[in-house]
């Protein structure tokens, strides 16, 4: 066999190998596009370097160390918009920094999953949009110290850190309803953290008569309250968005304040 023939055979074999490799890569890409995930072979995973993915923030690691869970790990279909990780809150300051995930006690997350199931059964097009859950006592102190109100009225806006709040135990959640398809929040009549009677559940009929809120606002709030009640939560008189999983007495017996 002459050298030219050997060279041709070698090239054919090489191209065949390249074609097979390309085919394997194409199949991998097809799997990713169709399934949304790709399982990395164990022998390849051992050599991966995840350092470029970044480290958890100090606050997030603190919450994990305290035994709290990220609600998205339990309910991936809910939306999260932590208002205190932005300046879109009642006193215009970001106090959570890099924290974007929402944490709460595992038992509370399970209760919220039950509430979410009840919501989906009644209104499949809706989901929860969570604004806040656990609030470490250190952050509560920041809110208290930076609130530009007289000390006598501060407790109307923020719980006194000396007393603590159910947020500090990780057993309270602030949330609203949103459309599953686009995360657009339903109109509840007021913004989150609105301080005034239009936000008070126990003043809804009065505010309706005065034209401060509409029947649709009340209807939306009732949908939220019904779902949360199904999960074992209770609301409060002054904030349509706030729900407690336990009383303060129960929280003190079951959990520790998150410092």
For residues 218-237, one letter each, b for 16 or more C-beta atoms within 10 angstroms of the residue's C-beta and e for the rest, the string is bebbebbbebbebbbbebee
Look up the domain containing 214 and give its range: 55-254
| Shared domain check, 200 and 83 | yes
Instruction: Provide the CATH number for the domain around residue 164.
Output: 3.30.1380.10
User: Predicted confidence band at 143 (pLDDT cuts at 50, 70, 90)?
Assistant: confident
pLDDT in tens, 48-102: 443 334 578 899 999 999 999 999 999 999 999 999 999 998 888 899 999 999 9
| Shared domain check, 240 and 116 | yes
> Number of structural domains, the chain?
2
| Shared domain check, 92 and 190 | yes
| Shared domain check, 93 and 130 | yes
Q: Is residue 18 part of a domain?
A: yes
| Shared domain check, 204 and 111 | yes
Cα gap 101→103, rounded to integer Å: 7
Q: Is the pLDDT of residue 41 over 60?
A: no
Sign of CA dihedral 211, 215, 216, 220: positive
Report how far apart, in Å, the C-alpha atoms of 70 and of each of 100, 109, 245, 255 are. Answer: 10, 8, 16, 17
Q: Which DSSP category does 39 fall into?
A: P
pTM attached to this predicted model: 0.78
Q: How many CB atoms lie within 10 A of CB 206?
A: 13
| Shared domain check, 121 and 34 | no
| Shared domain check, 127 and 39 | no
Q: Is the pLDDT of residue 14 over 50?
A: no
Active site residue 58: no
More confident call, 30 vs 206 = 206
pLDDT of residue 54: 55
Cα gap 5→215, rounded to integer Å: 86
Range in 25-29, 145-149, 198-202, 209-213 with the lowest mean pLDDT: 25-29
Indicate which residue of 181, 239, 253, 256 is catalytic: 239
Closest C-alpha to 179, from 216, 227, 125: 125
pLDDT of residue 155: 84
Copy the structure tokens of residue 198.
């239009």
């Amino acid at each position: 066999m002459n050298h030219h023939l050997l060279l041709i055979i070698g090239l054919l074999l090489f191209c065949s190998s390249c074609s097979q490799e390309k085919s394997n890569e194409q199949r991998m890409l097809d799997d990713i596009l169709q399934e949304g995930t790709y399982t990395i072979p164990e022998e390849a995973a051992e050599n991966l370097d995840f350092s470029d993915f970044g480290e958890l923030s100090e606050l997030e690691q603190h919450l994990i160390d305290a035994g709290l869970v990220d609600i998205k790990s339990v309910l991936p279909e809910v939306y999260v918009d932590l208002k205190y990780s932005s300046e879109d809150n009642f006193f215009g300051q970001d106090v959570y920094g890099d924290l974007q995930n929402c944490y709460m006690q595992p038992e509370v997350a399970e209760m919220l999953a039950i509430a979410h199931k009840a919501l989906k059964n009644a209104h499949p097009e809706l989901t929860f949009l969570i604004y806040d859950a656990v609030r470490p006592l250190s952050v509560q102190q920041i809110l208290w110290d930076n609130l530009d109100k007289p000390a006598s009225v501060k407790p109307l806006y923020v719980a006194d850190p000396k007393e603590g709040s159910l947020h500090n135990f990780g057993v309270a959640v602030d949330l609203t309803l949103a459309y599953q398809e686009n995360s657009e929040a339903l109109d509840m009549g007021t913004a989150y953290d609105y301080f005034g009677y239009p936000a008070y559940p126990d003043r809804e009929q009065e505010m309706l008569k005065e034209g401060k809120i509409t029947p649709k606002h009340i209807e939306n709030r009732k949908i939220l309250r019904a779902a949360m009640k199904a999960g074992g939560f209770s609301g409060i008189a002054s904030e349509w968005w706030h729900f407690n999983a336990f009383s303060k007495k129960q929280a003190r017996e079951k959990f520790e304040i998150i410092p």
